[in-house]
Amino acid sequence: MRHDGDHGRWRQGNPGGHDGGTPHPPTPHPHTPAPGARPSGRHVARDTPPSSPPATDTWHRPSPRTLLSHCSWLGAPLGSFVLAVLATGGRPGARVWISLAVVAVVFATLTALGSLSWLRTHYRVTADALELRTGLLTRRTRSVPLHRVRNVDLTAHPVQRALGLVVLRAGTGGHGQVSLDALSRADAERLRAELLARAGRTDADDPVLSTADPRWLRYAPLTFWVFGGVLAAAGAVWRVLDGMGVEPWRIGFVRRAFDEFGNSALWVTVPLLILAVTVLGTIGSVVLYAETWWRYRLERTDADTLRVRHGLLTTRSVSIERARLRGVVLREPLLLRTGGGATVRAVAGGLGDREENRKRSTLLPPAPRSEGERVCAGVLGEHVDTDGLRPHPPVARRRRVVRVLLWCVLPPTVVLAVLGALLTPVLLYCALGWLLVSTPVACALADDAYRALGHALRGRWLVIRSGSLTRDTVLLDRGAVLAWTFTRTPFARRAGVVTATAAVAAGEEAYRIRDMAAAEAAAFANAATPGMLREFLVPVGEGR
């Protein structure tokens, strides 16, 4: 293989694969159960929307209850006002009243603008397109051909649910999306059925791929946000009170808590504080998990569409077109992996930009790893073996050990040592303690990251695994790979390794095989996508 620099990128017009513009070949009909799926006898009595009415040129307007749902933003400022009143013993200061007056003025302004916007918003479904008219001073009409509709999602936050409203989003692939805020639930279900029917999709009774299990709640606390969430919430409350002129440290119970615990021994105070944060974080994570994934269900709505539905207060329904599905990612963060859990994400196009894709691509919440493997098999239509992957050269282990020591162990040690030399010898002992404790932990994580490295070809699938703090096993359709990029830094060139990146028009858009042997990188990429690198390869012994 020849190239002029350390970065090479080669493209080819899809030799028997995917060229980015041609829809992905349809998967087998979902009535044939995939290996690993639940027994085919399990069918779902789904809520079938009413039959879609014929096309009409009549313009419709969102539900008038939309104006009430827009008032939900008042919850935060009014809650802050009540909190300030309680914190000041019922005697709020001038800044609190000024803030309340500003909220009232903003509320009146936004309500007026919202009323005008509602009056000027209309939509209709013609024989060929979904049309939406919006705008106050400048009228804007957006028309989306029905054959371009890839998915139709329904979402409702608690206020909308109480009012019987739903936000409908029709995705058109790429970054295109039409949003109707908000429709009555009956109208939204009817419009969703009509859009999918006009786009060539029909609902059908199919077995679900996965449903919620209350036992999965045990995986909710297995995340670092158990601690970060509590600190973030405390910081938000502190900022709100401080912004309204309330000094949190002068509140009675806060001052008494500081006086009592501050005078106690630190060896008692610090463990109690950590225990309190852990308990609050655990409770919060369980509540958040239950609210987000209540009534979770992953199902096939027809031969072309997967749908994920979940939510207690805020309901969410995300549809993924199977023709745009390029694979799945089995994700195992460190704490979740320790508890035997995993999550599953879809590698799919048509879900918006990268941030939207990350939010909407989750197929399975934290659940047992066996359930994750079963969902992967059901979504892909076949079981893909992820064991026995090709290992990476031993030099990859050394590179990870060096990185973690240089970036995680050494900087805090140096900072503490310098401060100890300048200020107090106590920090010198802290530097030594950090060095002794963090070094074996860092080396263990580096060794775990090396053992996680692996890649292989399994039929039509490219399997890539890497990571320690977050371990990802990517099952990628080989026909979806559009290009390969090979990257070698000076240190990597000296070590004889290279990072190969598969470019895909879906998901994260780039999936890396890190630190694979340089001698086999091009041959492996060529085997994964036959013919794509043919012109850059030379037989062994030639070109010398």
Cβ atoms of residues 61 and 120 within 8 Å: no
* Residue among 493, 399, 515 nearest 446 (CA): 399
pLDDT > 60? residue 83: yes
Mean residue pLDDT across the chain: 78
pLDDT > 50? residue 338: yes
pLDDT > 80? residue 115: no
Gap between the Cα atoms of 318 and 167, Å rounded: 12
The class of domain 64-204 in CATH terms is mainly beta
Instruction: Show contacts of 183-189: CB within 8 Å, 24+ apart.
Output: 183/62, 183/63, 184/63, 184/65, 185/156, 186/50, 187/60, 187/63, 188/154, 189/47, 189/49, 189/50, 189/154
Q: What is the pLDDT of residue 34?
A: 44
Q: What is the pLDDT of residue 175?
A: 53
Q: Which amino acid is at 494?
A: R
pLDDT band at 98 (very low <50, low <70, confident <90, very high): confident
How confident is the model over 244-289, as pLDDT tens digits?
666 666 666 666 766 666 555 566 777 787 888 888 889 989 998 9
pLDDT > 60? residue 85: yes
Q: What is the pLDDT of residue 316?
A: 85
Cβ atoms of residues 310 and 295 within 8 Å: yes
Q: What is the pLDDT of residue 43?
A: 38
Q: Which residue has the higher pLDDT, 124 or 95?
A: 124
pLDDT band at 194 (very low <50, low <70, confident <90, very high): confident
Q: What are the domain boundaries of the chain?
A: 64-204, 214-293
Gap between the Cα atoms of 196 and 150, Å rounded: 8
Q: Which helix (H) or strand (E) holds 237?
A: helix 225-243
Gap between the Cα atoms of 189 and 250, Å rounded: 53
How confident is the model over 471-524, as pLDDT tens digits?
999 999 999 999 999 999 999 999 999 999 999 998 888 999 999 999 899 999
pLDDT band at 31 (very low <50, low <70, confident <90, very high): very low
pLDDT > 90? residue 138: no
Averaged pLDDT, 360-387? 93
**CA angle at residue 361 from 360 to 367, to 5 degrees?**
110
Q: What is the DSSP string of 101-166?
A: HHHHHHHHHHHHHHHHHHHT-EEEE-SSEEEEEE-SSS-EEEEEEGGG--EEEEEE-HHHHHHTEE
How confident is the model over 196-239, as pLDDT tens digits?
776 555 444 447 899 999 999 999 999 877 777 777 777 777 77
Q: What is the pLDDT of residue 25?
A: 43
Q: What is the pLDDT of residue 542?
A: 53
Gap between the Cα atoms of 326 and 165, Å rounded: 33
pLDDT band at 80 (very low <50, low <70, confident <90, very high): low
Gap between the Cα atoms of 464 and 512, Å rounded: 8
Gap between the Cα atoms of 350 and 291, Å rounded: 26
Q: Which residue has the higher pLDDT, 31 or 100?
A: 100
Q: What is the pTM (predicted TM-score) of this model?
A: 0.68
pLDDT > 70? residue 160: yes
**Which one of 17-31, 131-145, 483-497 scores highest in mean pLDDT?**
483-497
DSSP 3-state of 268: helix
DSSP 3-state of 426: helix
Half-sphere exposure of 505 toward its Cβ, with a 13 Å CA cutoff? Answer: 18
